[in-house]
């Protein structure tokens, strides 16, 4: 425990002493629909299923974006014969994993970072290797893993300028925590340099796993029905929107509608439970609206379709000629992943706030697959231009797809980097077998 500094010691003691407050936080979140009532014990480290009797690799992603990023790696590990445990912290990610994880892969909610919860979790699962996606640096998780000699690797590692500035103020703490990682496999050279500067001892650049994630699936029968309902209409989607963006998307729709009377705008909120408030917003502006979650369809009389379901973005990207990526017109989010719509034939638009995916958007912008729209007026102009000129939109979509293909390869580089650890896990299991 020496060398971590006062901040980390205080955190460790505080999270132990405030365990009752952590239980209260879970209750508060559950009442707000942010916790799974049927599985809330998992957040306190209680497992809901047995541990498989073979080498187990634990992969953790915070939410939807991170867990989806891990899917190709999960499939490769399962094919190698490892048991796979996936953890995440949000209800939406759990629902998505239920739909997209391969059979036999276990999902659990990550416990809160309380010492007793983490001990309970690791005592049950006894992972042989832990792969943490992006920038999930939880002190108690890392300390408990280190005590059990569980190797931990940061995959698809990211350290934004903002996060770097915060960690830089705690040099002893950051150095100790990052030293707990067997390796940090960074998305980019910039991420690698920031991780190394904070004290990570073993850093390399593997690239961004998001480029190797398959395009999201779509049920063929459902797609055929929706395609029939929207044929002949110019269609665009505002995907993964946040509060404050829906109003701007609706304003853009109203600005375009006089020029493209058959226009269909799809809004897929980042959090599906916001569907009713988007519906109310549309009705207040006298826009004909229906919601997928209540069985509505994008029939000819509907101008705004709210796609407030989980794991169906693959459907709506396939229906749309243009995709706007949310979390980029309001500050504080940082923009959501544009790779999925790029792989499904969409020309891409984004707002000015894309720091979470800055290098990805920069690549798409540079190659002509995406454009920035700073406000509702600019968004309306860009959407109208592409919907009114399908050949230009197709050219942008082809450029986006080409960029997504060219930037792939991180999966193979990640597997190569962790191969010694995988061999160690497999050999260790065989040596300990009776």
Helix segments in 180-324, DSSP class H: 189-197, 220-230, 246-256, 275-284, 313-319
Task: Please give the pLDDT value at position 429.
Answer: 58
Give 352's contacts (C-beta < 8 A, 6+ positions apart). Answer: 328, 329, 372, 374
Task: Please give the pLDDT value at position 1.
Answer: 45
Q: What angle do CA 326, 93, 71 make, to 5 degrees?
A: 95
Give 54's contacts (C-beta < 8 A, 6+ positions apart). Answer: 81, 82, 83, 429
φ, ψ of residue 346 to 5 degrees: the values are -100, 140
The alpha carbon dihedral of 374, 379, 385, 387 has a sign of positive
Mean pLDDT, consecutive 10-residue segments, the chain of 434 residues?
Answer: 65 86 84 87 96 97 95 97 97 94 97 96 98 95 96 96 93 94 96 97 96 95 97 98 98 98 97 96 98 97 97 97 98 94 98 92 97 98 98 98 97 98 83 40
For residue range 77-96, list pLDDT tens digits in order.
Answer: 999 999 999 999 999 999 99
- For residue 144, indicate whether it is catalytic: no
CA-to-CA separations, 389 to 306, 323, 347, 395, 396, in angstroms, rounded: 25, 15, 12, 10, 11
Out of 19, 35, 42, 66, pick the active-site residue: 66
Give 141's contacts (C-beta < 8 A, 6+ positions apart). Answer: 113, 118
Q: How far apart are CA 382 and CA 321, in angstroms?
A: 12
Q: How far apart are CA 17 and CA 21, in angstroms?
A: 9
Residue written as token pair 């014969």: 81
Q: How far apart are CA 206 and CA 157, in angstroms?
A: 9
CA-to-CA separations, 135 to 60, 93, 105, 181, 192, in angstroms, rounded: 10, 17, 23, 12, 12
For residue range 384-413, list pLDDT tens digits in order.
Answer: 999 999 999 999 999 999 999 999 999 999
Task: Please give the pLDDT value at position 6.
Answer: 74
Task: Please give the pLDDT value at position 27.
Answer: 83
Conformation bin of residue 38: beta by default, left when phi > 0, alpha when psi is -120 to 50: alpha
Task: Please give the pLDDT value at position 7.
Answer: 74
Task: Please give the pLDDT value at position 4.
Answer: 55
Question: Is the whole-model pTM more than 0.85?
Answer: yes
- The DSSP symbol for 169 reads T
Task: Please give the pLDDT value at position 107.
Answer: 98
């Amino acid at each position: 425990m020496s060398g971590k500094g006062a901040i980390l010691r205080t955190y460790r003691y505080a999270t132990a002493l405030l365990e009752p407050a952590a239980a209260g936080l879970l209750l508060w979140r559950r009442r707000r629909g942010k916790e799974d009532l049927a599985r809330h014990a998992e957040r306190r480290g209680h497992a809901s299923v047995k541990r498989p009797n073979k080498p187990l690799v634990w992969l953790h992603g915070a939410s939807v974006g991170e867990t989806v990023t891990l899917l190709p790696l999960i499939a490769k590990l399962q094919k190698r014969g490892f048991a796979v445990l996936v953890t995440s912290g949000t209800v939406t990610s759990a629902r998505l994993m239920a739909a997209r994880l391969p059979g036999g892969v276990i999902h659990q909610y990550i416990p809160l970072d309380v010492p007793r919860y983490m001990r309970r979790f690791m005592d049950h699962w006894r992972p042989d290797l832990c792969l943490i996606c992006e920038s999930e640096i939880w002190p108690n998780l890392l300390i408990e893993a280190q005590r059990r000699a569980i190797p931990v690797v940061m995959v698809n590692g990211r350290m934004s300028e903002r996060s770097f500035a915060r960690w830089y103020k705690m040099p002893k703490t950051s150095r100790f925590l990052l030293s707990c990682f067997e390796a940090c496999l960074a998305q980019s050279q910039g991420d690698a340099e920031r991780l190394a500067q904070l004290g990570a001892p073993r850093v390399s650049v593997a690239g961004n796993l998001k480029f190797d994630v398959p395009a999201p699936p779509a049920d063929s029968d459902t797609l055929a029905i929706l395609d029939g309902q929207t044929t002949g209409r110019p269609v665009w989607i505002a995907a993964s929107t946040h509060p404050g963006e829906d109003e701007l998307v609706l304003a853009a729709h109203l600005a375009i509608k006089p020029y493209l009377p058959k226009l269909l705008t799809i809004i897929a909120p980042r959090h599906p439970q916001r569907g009713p408030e988007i519906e109310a917003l549309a009705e207040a502006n006298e826009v004909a609206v229906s919601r997928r979650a209540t069985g509505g369809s994008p029939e000819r009389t509907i101008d705004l379709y709210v796609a407030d379901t989980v794991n169906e973005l693959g459907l709506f990207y396939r229906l749309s000629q243009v995709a706007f990526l949310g979390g980029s017109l309001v500050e504080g989010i940082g923009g959501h992943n544009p790779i999925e719509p790029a792989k499904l034939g969409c020309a891409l638009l984004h707002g000015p706030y894309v720091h979470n995916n800055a290098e990805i958007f920069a690549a798409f912008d540079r190659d002509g697959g995406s454009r920035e729209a700073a406000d509702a007026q600019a968004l309306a102009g860009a959407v109208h231009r592409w919907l009114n000129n399908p050949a230009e939109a197709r050219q942008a979509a082809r450029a986006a797809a080409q960029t997504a293909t060219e930037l792939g390869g991180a999966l193979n580089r990640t597997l190569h980097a962790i191969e010694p650890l995988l061999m160690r896990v497999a050999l260790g299991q065989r040596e300990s077998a009776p």
